[in-house]
Amino acid sequence: MPVRSANPIRARSLIRDNLEKQAGCLNLIHSRMPNIKVFSGTSHPDLAQRIVDRLGIDLGKVVTKKFSNLETCVEIGESVRGEDVYIVQSGSGEINDNLMELLIMINACKIASASRVTAVIPCFPYARQDKKDKLAGSEDNAESKKLAKKNYDWKFRANAQSRAPISAKLVANMLSVAGADHIITMDLHASQIQGFFDIPVDNLYAEPAVLKWIKENIPEWKNSIIVSPDAGGAKRVTSIADRLNVEFALIHKERKKANEVASMVLVGDVKDKIAILVDDMADTCGTIVHAADRLVEAGATKVYAILTHGIFSGPAISRINNACFEAVVVTNTIPQDGHMRDCPKIQCIDVSMMFAEAVRRTHNGESVSYLFSNVPY
């Protein structure tokens, strides 16, 4: 608002006071965040930019390139000696390249005498490979089961101990050996992954942002029911249902034979209610699409899906376009601009403020537990 005064000397004095106040605010921000550098990998530069904008600082200079043999080369473009360094890199896109890039960036900062290096990994890579299954590969992977059926007797294989790796533990070891001192991530597929590390891990939750979105965008949310598409997400769903004071349901998948499509059994009453499917991630979207069809058959009036990590690989986008969802809501832990262009049903919740606040609190030595149940404004 322009300063108006009949006295020109008085007007100049007011303008000078306003400029001094603005400069004081900027100095206050920088005085609260000394000795901090935030760098971005190539997986999600938009999220990193939103984080530094929220913090009121500039993004660190880094150059990433590939040699002709596709080796990754990273050059940190400014001094990090004695600095508190945060590297933002999500497990999306070219996951293996992005993971290697993150490891190189951590090591480059560590050997450049950074006082502490924190890896901010919104979507943790290889999180689904957190345990040995009875069959090699994912329990939901039909192709691996077909292969097992073809080469071995199914009953023998079902009773045999798998030789599958626990890749999430391997990634944890790699991050630690590279020099990471601290990990910040969101909605780990399995919370025990925190125990794979010997360094501090802050696992943030998208739940506060999800609750806020439901209350602001679903007018009849009090007549809703929160649904888990599998038994593994029951704890997450009951927590949200309790916070909203609504009922919950879950879908149990049954398999009679190895190669048969799973039958879905709905546990709970969704008739004449708005069904809100909640899960931590969706890849090819086969499970949530089948779950949505089952909910409509059971009498649900509308079906929403809310997911923390929208991977959307393979036929996912076409499945969502052809499904009965009112909206599929995801966070921006993974870049969603392309997915939103291809599918108008996809909506995005910005969680950059939660990561920015986690970075600020970690840097200042404050507790981050406030973020487990609140959205910073």
Q: What is the pLDDT of residues 332-349, one digit of tens each?
A: 999 999 999 999 999 999
**pLDDT at site 265:** 87
**pLDDT at site 317:** 95
**pLDDT at site 137:** 43
The answer to whether the pTM exceeds 0.85 is no
Percentage of the chain surpassing pLDDT 70? 81
Specify the DSSP class assigned to residue 77.
-
**pLDDT at site 139:** 42
- 3-state SS of 195-258 is HHCCCCEEEECCHHHHHHHHHHHCCCHHHEEEEECCHHHHHHHHHHHHHHCCEEEEEEEECCCC
The pLDDT tens digits of the residues spanning 297-343 come to 999 999 999 999 999 999 999 999 999 999 999 999 999 999 999 99
Does residue 16 have a pLDDT over 80?
no
Residue 248 bridge partners (DSSP)? 226
**pLDDT at site 29:** 45
- Give per-residue burial for 272-306: e unless 16+ CB within 10 Å, then b: ebbbbbbbbbbbebbbbbbbbebbbebebbbbbbb
CATH class of 207-349: alpha beta
Domain extent listing, the chain: 36-129+166-204, 207-349
**pLDDT at site 15:** 57
Residue with more model confidence, 237 or 152: 237
**DSSP per residue over 133-198, as a string?**
-SSSS-TT-HHHHHHHHHHS-HHHHHHSPP----HHHHHHHHHHHHT--EEEEES-SSGGGGGG-S
Let me know if the fold of 36-129+166-204 is the same as that of 207-349.
Answer: yes
* Residue closest to 38 by CA, chosen among 52, 26, 27: 52
The architecture of the domain spanning 36-129+166-204 is 3-Layer(aba) Sandwich (3.40)
**pLDDT at site 272:** 94
**pLDDT at site 17:** 63
Summary mean pLDDT of the chain: 86
Find the mean pLDDT for residues 202-207. Answer: 95
**pLDDT at site 28:** 44
